[in-house]
Structure 1
C-alpha cells in the first residue's frame, strides 16, 4: 500500500480537467487494446455523427491517442504535461474558463477536420494548448533533446519541424493546432490590449461584464497566483 501513496498523491495533485482527460484517454486505449472497443467506433466524421446519430464521436475523437505503445505514452505525456501547466498557472482557480478554452479549441478542430481528413483530433487539441502555453511564456528557455536552446514561443515550430523530418510528410494536425491556438491567443492576449474587450471570453464573462473586458488581473499575475 505504501508504494501506491506517491502515485495517488501525484494523481490528485493534477488539476481536475487534465486529470479526467488523461484518465479517460488511457482507459479508452486500454479498452481498445482489450478489444472491448474498436477505433472505428471512436473516430469523428460528419456522416457517422449526423446521419447515424452517433454523437459520442464528438468526444471520443479527442480521447483516442492510438494503441498502447511508446508512441501512445509520448502523446499522453505531451498532452497531460502542457494541459497541466496551462491549467495550473493561467487558469488556476478558473476551471470553467479552461473548459471553455477546450470547448472552443475542440469545436474549431471539428469544423476544420473535413479539410484535412483527420479522424482523431486529440493530438491537434493538445498541440493548440502547447501553442498557447508557449506564447504566454515568452521568456522561458527550452532545450530540444540537448541539441539547441530556444525561447518558448518557438516550441510549436520546433516540434512541427521535427515531425516533418521524422514522418517525411506535412503534419496537418500540428498546423491545425497552431492555427486554433493562435486565434485564441490573439483574441485573448493581444486583441484586448488594443480594443479593451475579449471576443473569445466565456459566455458567463459576458453575462457578468456585459461586453467582456480584459481579465481583472493581468495574465502574468494570474499565473503567479
Structure 2
C-alpha cells in the first residue's frame, strides 16, 4: 500500500506535486499550531506597508481546517491540476506555471481592487485566503476545455 502511494506521488507532474505538497504541509502545520494562519493570510496593509510579500503566495496554500472539505479540495487539486498539466499543457510546464501565476495574480488583484471600492470593501475584506478560489479556477478551466472539445 505504501509503495502504491509513493509511486502515485512520484508519477505526479512537478507543478502539481509541488503545489499539493505545499498545501498539505501548510494546512497540517496550521492544524498542529506550528504555523499561525494569521501569518499566511492576505492582508493588503501588511503587504504594502510592512513588506510581507510572502502573504501574496501563502494565502493560496492554506485550506483552513482539516476536514472533509479539505480532502475534497486536495482531491480536486491533485486530479484537475494533474490533468491540466499532463493533457492541456503537455510538455509546456512553464506555460502551466504561468497560467497558475496569472490566475493567482488575477484573484489577488480582484480582492485588492474590490477592497478599495466603497460599497464592496466590506465583502472583499473578508476574503483573506484564496486557495479555494485557485482550486475552483483549475476545475473550471478543465471543464471549459472539455466543453470546447465537445461543442466547438
Find 2:24's aligned residue among 13, 22, 26: 26
CA–CA distance in 2 between the matches of 1:36 and 1:139? 44
Offset at residue 18 of structure 1 (A)? 0.7
Do the aligned residues in 2 keep the contact of 1:65 with 1:76 (CA within 8 Å)? no
Offset at residue 139 of structure 1 (A)? 7.2
Return the TM-score normalized by structure 1. Answer: 0.59
| CA deviation map 1:67-102 (0-9, x unaligned) | 211111111112221111111101111100000001
- Residue aligning to 2:92: 94
CA–CA distance in 2 between the matches of 1:75 and 1:110? 19
Offset at residue 31 of structure 1 (A)? 0.8
- Residue aligning to 1:38: 36
- Residue aligning to 2:67: 69
Find 1:81's aligned residue among 69, 79, 82: 79
CA–CA distance in 1 between the matches of 2:57 and 2:109? 14
Larger Rg: 1 or 2?
Answer: 1
Offset at residue 24 of structure 1 (A)? 0.4
| Higher normalized helix content (fraction of residues) | 2
Closer/same/farther in 2, CA of residues 91 and 139 from structure 1, 3 Å limit: closer
Offset at residue 130 of structure 1 (A)? 1.4
1:108 partner SS: helix
| CA deviation map 1:124-175 (0-9, x unaligned) | 11111112111111278xxxxxxxxxx8x9xxxxxxxxxxxxxxxxxxxxxx
Return the TM-score normalized by structure 2. Answer: 0.86
- Residue aligning to 1:123: 132
Higher RCO, 1 vs 2 (CA within 8 Å, ≥6 residues apart):
2
CA–CA distance in 1 between the matches of 2:43 and 2:106? 14
- Residue aligning to 1:180: none
Find 2:49's aligned residue among 48, 51, 56: 51
- Residue aligning to 2:104: 106
Do the aligned residues in 2 keep the contact of 1:79 with 1:123 (CA within 8 Å)? no
CA–CA distance in 1 between the matches of 2:70 and 2:62? 9
CA RMSD of aligned residues (A): 1.9
Number of aligned residues: 141
- Segments of structure 1 that go 5 or more residues without pairing to the other structure are 141-150, 154-225
